[in-house]
Amino acid sequence: MDQGSATLKATAPPAATRGSRQVNTLPMLLPAIIVLLLWSVLPLLRTLLYSFQHYDLMTPPATFNGGLNYRYLFTDPSTWIAIKNSVVLVIGVLAASIVFGTLIALLLNNDFPGQSVARLLAIAPFFVMSPVAALIWKNLLLDPVSGLFGWFMTLAGLHPIAWFSVAPMTSVIIIYSWRWIPFATLILLTALQSLDTDQLEAARMDGAKGFARLRYIVLPHLLRPISIVIMLESIFLLSAFAVIYTTTNGGPGDATTTLTYLIFIKALNDFSIGSASAAGVFAIVLANILAVFLIRAVSRNLQA
């Protein structure tokens, strides 16, 4: 009986392969992989090729010029102004999103009549398209003649301000902040829902004041979602274009010309596809460097 059992055990297939059979999934995944490669890699390679060519839409065909486009790019003062404007835009919107997003999330986390409606209204601006948001702020709010802000300033005895002429970058930051604060509010409000209320109750019973509870319990709990907000918003804001195009066209002068808008100017205003491609490759490199640092920071924060 023991010998038979041993024989059966020896000849029986492994438990892992009895009920299932290993299937090669590569043939099923291969079409999707090919499509993704064609969708992403080929345009990138084409852009890289154009960046080493003198490709002017007004005087075709394209001719190879080595790295001359990159030399012009890095010696052009407008490139560094565009990089500075991009950094200012990203930092300004991130600061507004984190500060106001945290405050609004804390307020909406309390129970009060009409809480559901208030949450919906607080998140709604995020779903407004960028050109529509830009037109609303440009014509209905910030216009010195017919805008709501100008009317309030007139009532207060002040002279209305032409925001897009006097403070163009501030105006662009305000519009993008209006769109991205709801996103930060949504992420942080969701994180607050998972906060252990027993900790807050214990701190309250121990005599901790509201600011102390906020500093030592709530804000440490929000560090992880805040890092995610920083990563996602930074990636999207580096490609900010629609609001600038709709409101300031990169001006006055180059006051609101970001790196993305500089690529647009070189490609469709100057008709220089080669210079625009070089700027595009440079923007891709900068974005990937930033993404690597942000992803590492978020992963360290999540592991902690």
Phi-psi region of 96 (alpha: psi -120 to 50; beta: other; left: phi over 0): alpha
Q: How confident is the model at residue 302 (pLDDT cuts 50, 70, 90)?
A: low
Residue 288 has pLDDT above 80, yes or no: yes
Q: Flag whether pLDDT at 196 surpasses 80.
A: no
- Read off the pTM: 0.84
Angle at 221 between CA 219 and CA 225, to 5 degrees: 95
- Give the model's confidence band at 19: pLDDT under 50 very low, under 70 low, under 90 confident, else very high: very low
Domains of the chain as residue ranges with CATH: 85-248 (1.10.3720.10)
Where b means 16+ CB within 10 Å and e means fewer, 201-238 reads eebeeeebeeeebeeebbeebbeebbbbbbbbbbeebb
